[in-house]
Structure 1
Amino acid sequence: MPSKSNAQILLEKADKKANSSGGWFTSSSSKYEEAGDLYQQAANAFKLEKLFKEAGDSFAREAECRELGGESNEAANAWWNASKAYKKGFPDLAIQALSQTIVHLTKGGRFRQAADREKEIGQIYLQEANDLRKACDSFERAGEWYSQEDANATANACFKDAADLHAELEEYPQAIQRYEQVANHSLPSPLTKYSVKEFWLRSGLCAVAMSDTVTARRNLQKYNTQDVTFSSTREAKFITAILEAVENGDLENFQGSVFEFDQVSKLDNWKTNILLKIKRQLEDGGVGLT
């Protein structure tokens, strides 16, 4: 019979302590505190053995003991440790553990940390589960919490990620609203002003993709008013060229403009995808003048 590992011995000790009926003189809170410490030791021992599911489960048991002992901060930390272990191949469990962490953090008014954890959830939905809708919701929630805590740069990064996802989900009005929000926050600061033309470019492409050339032109005028230097940028000229090609049903000019832009500023996946959608509409003769 194989001998038990150190982690398994610690886990059994922890289970025994958690399930023991304390004597007359031991308080239940000290029992849960001791059991929690043992579960934490077991979890770390499992991590050493690279048994990440078992490590996550042990941290989760620790978290439950911390809750029973009324230690909310320690419980939040234990759930977070559980999520980090679960991230090694168990994304659903990682999300559940992070959600538990957030419950404790928001109760304690620690919204900055709650936003960090919510952003992690968004990244897991995006990278592991490929669930764009849920990822988008998480990034927006994280962004709102960062805003409340005056962490505006981090909030903007989350809102920009959410805008990209809205566009991928073809929720163009919501995407435009988020891009404009991020641009408006970035305009006043010399440090972030340079990024505004990128947000307006994305917003402009969204308007074209929803077959609304009137809104696209109106927004372009609005951006030129907000920043007089915008009209001379490569981004503004690109949107204008795309708009004209679409309004004239001119596929050749459309492709020429895309090619030229790509020669100077390499198109990322997001832009490539939305431009392919616009191209397909053009080929179908489907971009109307609404």
Structure 2
Amino acid sequence: MPSKSPAQSLLDKADKKANSSTGWFSSASTKFEEAGDLYQQAANAFKIEKLFKEAGDAHAREAECREKSQEGNEAANAWWNAAKAYKRIDPSLAVQALSQTITHLTKAGRFRQAADREKEIGQIYLQELNDLRKACDSFERAADWYTQEDATATANACYKDAADLHADLEEYAQAISRYEQVANGSLNSALTKYSVKEYWLRSSLCALAMGDTVTAKRNLTKYGSLDTTFVSTREAKFVGVLVDAVEAGDVETFTAAVFEFDQVTKLDNWKTNILLKIKKSIDEAPGLT
């Protein structure tokens, strides 16, 4: 019979401890504390062997022992360690473990850390599981928690990610209100003021993607009154030309404006995609006979 690996031996020891009956002199909570320590050691040993599923499972069992011995902080940490191991092999298990971590953190009023973990979930949904809807919800939840902890810059970054995803999901009205919220939050700081024109550009493109040139024009005027320097920016002029081109059903002018803008400021994927949608809507608009 092959000999057991150190990790497997520690796991057996932990299982035995967790399932043992408590003697005269030890309490159940001591038993689970000790079992938790053994599961943690087993998890670390599995990591050395690069067995990440087994490591994650051992941390999850450690977490359950911490819960039974009422160690909330340790349980939150154990679930987070489980998530880090699972992340290497199974993103959906990582999300489950992170959700457990968040439950403990919010119970303890540690909303800043809960927001960090919720943002991590959003990134897994976006990058690994390709679930834009759930990613968007996670970024918004994280942003709300960051806001209540006064971590404004981090909150704005999450709201902006959520806005991008609303637009990808063609929920343009929600996207616009998020971009405007982030822009308003950035107007008063010298550090973030420069990025406001970017949020307003994105918001304007969303209005055009809805085929709503009236809102696009009204918003341009509104943004210009919120920041008088906006009117003279390349972004504002670009939107102005696009609005006219959409209203006139003029694909050539639209395409030329996009090309010219891209020469100076490289268009990212998000803008390229939404501009293609807008162009397609001009192409498909009934011609004026």
- Alignment TM-score > 0.5, same fold: yes
State whether residues 201 and 235 of structure 1, in contact with CA within 8 Å, keep that contact through their aligned partners in structure 2.
Answer: yes
Q: How does 1:222-237 map to 2 (within 5 A)?
A: 222-237=222-237
Q: Does 1:34 align with 2:55?
A: no
Structure 1 distance, partners of 2:157, 2:24, is 55
Kindly tell me: are residues 286 and 91 of structure 1, through their superposed partners in 2, closer, same or farther at Cα, counting changes over 3 Å? farther
Structure 1 position 70, deviation (Å): 0.4
Instruction: After the TM superposition, list the runs of 4 or more consecutive aligned residues in structure 1 that deviate by more than 4 angstroms.
Output: none
Structure 1 distance, partners of 2:206, 2:267, is 15
Match of 1:251 in 2: 251
Corresponding residue pairs, total: 288
Structure 1 distance, partners of 2:85, 2:96, is 12
| Aligned partner letter, 2:215 | T
Kindly tell me: are residues 224 and 286 of structure 1, through their superposed partners in 2, closer, same or farther at Cα, counting changes over 3 Å? farther
Structure 2 distance, partners of 1:239, 1:18, is 65
Match of 1:212 in 2: 212
Structure 1 position 139, deviation (Å): 0.1
Tell me the TM-score normalized by structure 2: 0.99
Match of 2:87 in 1: 87
Structure 1 position 198, deviation (Å): 0.2
Structure 1 distance, partners of 2:273, 2:24, is 68
Structure 1 distance, partners of 2:129, 2:279, is 29
State whether residues 246 and 287 of structure 1, in contact with CA within 8 Å, keep that contact through their aligned partners in structure 2.
Answer: no
Say which SS state the counterpart of residue 82 (structure 2) adopts: helix
Structure 1 distance, partners of 2:65, 2:115, is 25
Structure 1 position 25, deviation (Å): 1.2
Match of 1:67 in 2: 67
Structure 2 distance, partners of 1:89, 1:254, is 46
Q: How does 1:157-236 map to 2 (within 5 A)?
A: 157-236=157-236
| Aligned partner letter, 1:174 | Q
Structure 1 position 174, deviation (Å): 0.2
Kindly tell me: are residues 67 and 108 of structure 1, through their superposed partners in 2, closer, same or farther at Cα, counting changes over 3 Å? same
In structure 2, runs of 5+ residues without a counterpart are none
Match of 1:153 in 2: 153
| Aligned partner letter, 2:38 | L
Match of 2:108 in 1: 108
| Aligned partner letter, 1:9 | S
Kindly tell me: are residues 236 and 49 of structure 1, through their superposed partners in 2, closer, same or farther at Cα, counting changes over 3 Å? same
Structure 1 position 285, deviation (Å): 1.0
| Aligned partner letter, 2:191 | L
Structure 2 distance, partners of 1:144, 1:25, is 48
Structure 1 distance, partners of 2:139, 2:71, is 29
| Aligned partner letter, 1:31 | K
Say which SS state the counterpart of residue 170 (structure 2) adopts: coil
Structure 2 distance, partners of 1:35, 1:94, is 23
Structure 1 position 32, deviation (Å): 0.2
